[in-house]
Amino acid sequence: MEEGIINETVQKHGGNIYRASQRYGIRKEDFLDYSANINPLGIPEELRELIISNMDLLSSYPDPECNDLRKDISLYLDVPRDRIIIGNGAAEVIFLLFDELKPKKVLIPSPTFCEYERAASKSGSEVVFYRIKESKGFKLDVHELISSMNDNDADSLILCNPNNPTSVLTSPDDLLNLLKAAYRKGIKVIIDETFVELTIGGNLNSMTAYLREFDNLFIIRAFTKLFAIPGLRLGYGLGNKALISNLWKRKVTWSVNCFAGISGLILRNKHGYLDRTTSWLSKEIDHFYNDLCNLKKVHVFKPNTNFILLKIKDKKTNSYKLRESMAFKGVLIRDASNFRFLDDSFIRVAIKDRDSNEKFIEILNEVI
């Protein structure tokens, strides 16, 4: 059972450093992990301290209503508390949402994060895809998407913004047009903003401000990428009050552990970690992109967030082979071939600090 214990999507997901360690015989801590796309600034110091000084919380049940967290998120995003559901990572929120909505037909602009399709199928929904065009650099054409939405007679639409794995951001103006068109037709729009704080502009690119006006809007967010804490398990969702209330009733009790429950405190200090994140991002995103553009054997898609989609031009290799040879050199990359509409010429890599990025380019250059 050691192979195939869980679904294949998860096995290919970036960041399964446990499996990689077994497979390539390299210690977990020795990998340069470019497969997971989390904030390279690492775990906020405040959070480490918070956990150590609140160790006794382990001996109580977590607050099942996550009141402290909802308060902090409410202040952080200016969204009322009764529009917030907290979950065990964005994953729980997505699955809860589909279980609750049970959409008849879901439209998914793709390539995108694979779990939407899995969650939709699990809830019995028919899934249809709108293909985001590689020829346009994977930029989302909202007018085309609106036509596709109408033609397909979908009752729900889910997209990721900025999108994973393409790293392309769609502007709030474009999304507003989409939202209005969907609203008129009674179509639900779910936007996964897991990476939005890792764009230049951060929450200015978020659609949270439209939650009051559009009750067909649901937003998925998480602490995972922003605070580099996928191990903690903390995601949340924002939507209309009735839906949020139903999600709370549907949810597995206490799925949010005690440390996740207090981690909202790190949102209060906006000028520490979050500012440093913006500063890093504005320096490295273009720099790494430009450096990668100098490589002849890959095409680089322009990123808007902390990871980059690459296309291997060399026909003699592919994403799988490249992943293998990089891994044996101690660098993990994301084989992006299992994203719908991509093939085995695509890989996704994280953006990290200057030194690591340079080392990454050096190794990629050697290997490819």
Element (H, E) at 157: strand 156-160
Tokens of 365: 């250059």
Count of positions on this chain that bind a second copy (CB under 8 A): 63
Binding string to a second copy for residues 268 to 307, with x set by CB under 8 A, is what? ----------------------------------------
What is the closest distance, in whole angstroms, from the C-beta atom of residue 177 to a second copy in the complex? 32
The stretch among 3-11, 104-112, 141-149, 290-298 that binds a second copy (CB under 8 A) is 3-11
Closest CA to 243 of 209, 215, 206: 215
Tokens of 205: 């690119």
89 binds a second copy (CB under 8 A): yes
337 binds a second copy (CB under 8 A): no
Nearer residue to a second copy within complex by CB, 109 or 261? 261
Nearer residue to a second copy within complex by CB, 37 or 206? 37
CA distance 237 to 190: 10
CA distance 230 to 89: 8
Among 228, 281, 333, 349, binds a second copy (CB under 8 A): 228
Closest CA to 195 of 97, 261, 107, 113: 113
CA distance 165 to 311: 12
- How far from 184 is each of 126, 187, 219, 244, CA to CA, in Å? 22, 8, 19, 22
CA distance 127 to 112: 13
Nearer residue to a second copy within complex by CB, 84 or 169? 84
Residue type, 271: H
List of E strands, 200-293: 217-222, 235-238
Decide: residue 336, CB within 10 A, 0-12 exposed, 13-18 middle, 19+ buried.
buried
Binding string to a second copy for residues 55 to 84, with x set by CB under 8 A, is what? xxxxxxxxxxx-x-------------xx--
212 binds a second copy (CB under 8 A): no
The stretch among 27-35, 265-273, 293-301, 352-360 that binds a second copy (CB under 8 A) is 27-35
CA distance 52 to 84: 27
225 binds a second copy (CB under 8 A): no
The interface with a second copy within residues 232-271 (CB under 8 A) comprises 232-233, 241, 245, 248-249, 251-255, 257-261
DSSP 250: H
Binding string to a second copy for residues 304 to 323, with x set by CB under 8 A, is what? --------------------
Residue type, 90: A
The stretch among 52-60, 275-283, 297-305, 308-316 that binds a second copy (CB under 8 A) is 52-60
123 binds a second copy (CB under 8 A): no
Tokens of 258: 């005690």
Nearer residue to a second copy within complex by CB, 1 or 173? 1
**Footprint of a second copy on this chain (CB under 8 A)?**
1-2, 5-7, 10, 13, 15-19, 28-29, 33, 36, 38, 42-43, 47-48, 51-52, 55-65, 67, 81-82, 88-89, 91-92, 95, 115, 228-233, 241, 245, 248-249, 251-255, 257-261
